[in-house]
Amino acid sequence: MSSNLPLVTIGISAYNEEKLIDRAINSALSQTYSNIEIILFDDASSDNTLGIMRQFGESNLGVKVFSTNVNKGLAHARNRIKEAANGDYLAWLDADDEYRPNRISKLVNTALESKSDVTIDGYIVVNENGEEIKRQTVKNKFDFDSKYTSLFERNFMLPHPLISRRCFSSINFDETLEASEDYDYWLKCSTHGYSFTSIKEFNLVYTLRTNSMSSSNSKNMDSTRKILSKYDVVFLEKLLKERNFSTGYINKASCLFSIFTGSFEKAISYSKKHWEDDPDNDRDFYIGTLYALSNNFYKAKYHLEKHLSRLPESPAGYNNLAVVVNNLSSKSLSKKLVSKALEIFPSYTDASTNMVDPKKLTLTQISINKSR
């Protein structure tokens, strides 16, 4: 190991991943960056995951293995790993994902140059057969928002960034959450004033699994509501003002926050105020959706149609308009609108449900990048 380079801890936790865990560990061991420790944590697996981890620990000096007898979930595992980490930086790696060989080197160089606490790169999404689905990069908002306060807008973060010790040692994962524990963690990083930056390289391979926690929309929505309930709209407005966001942005962010926390009356009041122009968060989409939630379907139809006239590739716009016109007894048009939503976004779960019975509104506008 080179003493001239910051020490980086790679933390890998797993539960019943004996078929994939060796791939993840080997990708961590294959990094071109030389000053690395690897911490493996077995979360009470009933298969041979722990045995495989111990084999790596016995044959590699830089690999440490920890385990527990009771399965307590990902947040608990990550808290235990970060407590044991000696690194100046820490990066997570899920058992079913892998790093490209130069990932840590690229992230460390960027972190040192920018002095950032959380350094993000892009990822390649593959299916369970290893076939590439898409490439994803984080929305770069860091030139004017290095603390990434816009995470309150929605969870823009990508998996497994590099985190500085001053950041990861001071913030814990919430072990009561069943999903979206990462989102909760990044919001804490932001509100505590830690800095974020990104690089547009694709050095993480992320496996999209049909049975993964991230595929459970209802659990993610419930967890998001629980996470945001730790804050309130007054706190958010104050934070945004302190960080010099415009009034138009504050109104938009406060509307989205109120929707996500179920405060629909507050959301309606914010939706009618001035917003900055933002195609990813079109005001008419949210006004129309909020009217639909309050069963004012004629006003909802008017605003959703305005939204689609500006953004004709909005799958959530078509889906929500389908629900509205179904309630206005336009059944055949409703089906056509749902079909249009699925044509734009084939994996859209709300629209798939609405093919049978159009009742499911999507509360967040969906942005589709055709180039990915």
Q: Where are the beta strands (DSSP E) in the chain?
A: 8-14, 36-43, 63-68, 89-92, 98-99, 118-126, 132-136, 162-164, 196-207
Please indicate, yes or no, if residue 333 is contained in any of the structural domains: yes
Domain boundary among 188, 223, 258: 223
Please tell me whether residues 164 and 250 are part of one structural domain: no
What pTM does this model have?
A: 0.88
Please identify which residue in the block is written with the tokens 């790169």: 121
Query: Which CATH number fits the domain that encloses residue 173?
Result: 3.90.550.10
Same domain, 179 and 260: no
CA atoms lying within 13 Å on the CB side of residue 87: 29
The domain boundary, picked from 179, 205, 223, lies at 223
The per-residue pLDDT for 212 is 54
What are residue 324's phi and psi, to 5 degrees?
-65, -50
Tally the domains of the chain: 2
| 178 and 247, same domain (yes or no) | no
- Per-residue pLDDT at 215: 47
Q: Is the dihedral of CA 219, 226, 141, 200 positive or negative?
A: negative
Q: Write down which residue in 183, 200, 223 finishes a domain.
A: 223
Full domain range(s) for residue 300: 231-354
Domain match, 28 and 139 both: yes
pLDDT at position 71 is 94
Contact at 8 Å (CB) between 89 and 169?
no
pLDDT along the chain (372 residues), means of 10: 82 94 96 96 96 94 94 95 97 94 97 96 86 81 86 87 97 92 96 94 85 58 88 95 94 93 91 89 94 95 97 96 95 95 92 93 79 36
- For 357, other C-beta atoms within 10 Å of its C-beta total 9
Looking up residue 292, the CATH number of its domain turns out to be: 1.25.40.10
51 and 123 fall within a common domain:
yes
CB atoms within 10 A of CB 51: 11
pLDDT given for residue 210 in this prediction = 67
For residues 168 and 82, is the Cβ–Cβ distance under 8 A?
yes
The CB-based long-range contact list for 278-281 (8 Å cut-off, 24+ gap) reads 278/252, 279/310, 279/311, 279/367, 280/365, 280/367, 281/153, 281/252, 281/256, 281/365
